Chains A and B, each alone.
Chain A
Amino acid sequence: MTDPLPPADGASTEAPSAGRAARAVERRSSTGFGRYLLKHVSGAAVSLLLVLFSSFFIFRLIAGDPIDQLTKERPVSPEQRAAMRAELGLDRPLWQQFWDYITGTLTMDLGESFQYRRPIFDLIVERLPATLLLSGTGMVLAVLLGFWIGTRSGWKQGSRFDKGQVATGLVLYSAPTFWLGMIVILVFARYLGLFPVNGMRSPSTPPDFWSQAVDIGHHLVLPVLTYTAVVYAGYLMIMRSSILDEIGSDYLTTARAKGLRDDEVRQKHAVPNALLPTVTLVFLALGSVVNGSIVTETVFSWPGLGTLFVNAIFYPDRPVLQALFVLFSSSTIVAVLCAEILYWFIDPRIRRS
Chain B
Amino acid sequence: MTLLEFKDLRVTYRGSRGRLPAVRGVDLAVDAGETLGIAGESGCGKSTLAMAVLRLLPKSAEVSGQILLDGEDLLAMGWGRLRAVRWTGASIVFQGAMHSLNAVQRIGRQIAEPILVHEPKTTPAQAAKRAEALLERVGLPPSRARSFPHELSGGQRQRVMIAMALACDPDLLIADEATTALDVMVQAQVLRLISDLVRERGVGLVMISHDLSVLSAVCDRAAVMYAGRIVEQGPAHEVFAQARHPYSAALGAAFPVIGDPAARMHPGGLAGDPPDPLRLPEGCSFRPRCAVAVERCGAESPELLEVGAARVSACFVAQEGMPVVG
* A residues apposed to B, CB below 8 Å: 7, 9-11, 14-15, 18-19, 22, 25, 249-251, 253-261, 264, 268-269, 272-273, 276, 346-349, 352
Contacts and interface: CB of A to CB of B under 8 A. Distances in A.
B139 A272 contact: no
B35 interface: no
Contacts, number: 102
Nearest to A255: B102
Contacts of A7: 153
The 10 closest A-B pairs by CB, nearest first: A11-B139, A259-B86, A9-B155, A250-B99, A348-B148, A258-B114, A250-B100, A259-B83, A251-B102, A258-B87
Interface residues of B, number: 42
B237 interface: no
B189 A250 contact: no
Q: Considering residues B56, B102, B150, which has the most beta carbons from chain A within 10 angstroms of its beta carbon?
A: B102
B100 to A, nearest CB: 4
Contact of B104 (A11, A18, A253, A273): A273
A251 B103 contact: yes
Interface in B61-110: 83-88, 91-92, 94-95, 99-105
A346 B148 CA distance: 12
A25 B150 CA distance: 12
B94 A250 contact: yes
Contacts of B102: 251, 254-255, 269, 272-273
Chain A, interface SS category: helix
B104 A260 contact: no
Contacts of B151: 25, 348, 352
B83 A253 contact: no
A269 B118 CA distance: 17
Contacts of B87: 257-259
11 contacts: A7-B153, A15-B141, A251-B101, A251-B102, A254-B164, A257-B94, A258-B87, A259-B88, A269-B102, A272-B105, A273-B104
Contacts of B299: none
Contact of B83 (A250, A261, A272): A261
A11 B193 contact: yes
Given A11-B189, A14-B141, A349 B150 contact: yes
Contacts of B144: 18
Contact of A257 (B91, B105, B185): B91
Given A256-B56, A257-B56, A22 B143 contact: yes
Contacts of B164: 254, 258
Nearest to B174: A257
B153 A19 contact: no
Contact of B189 (A9, A25, A253, A258): A9
A259 B81 CA distance: 10
Given A259-B83, A272-B105, A249 B99 contact: yes
Nearest to B102: A251
Given A11-B193, A22-B143, A272-B105, A260 B99 contact: no
Nearest to B92: A257
B185 to A, nearest CB: 8
A347 B186 contact: no
B99 A258 contact: no
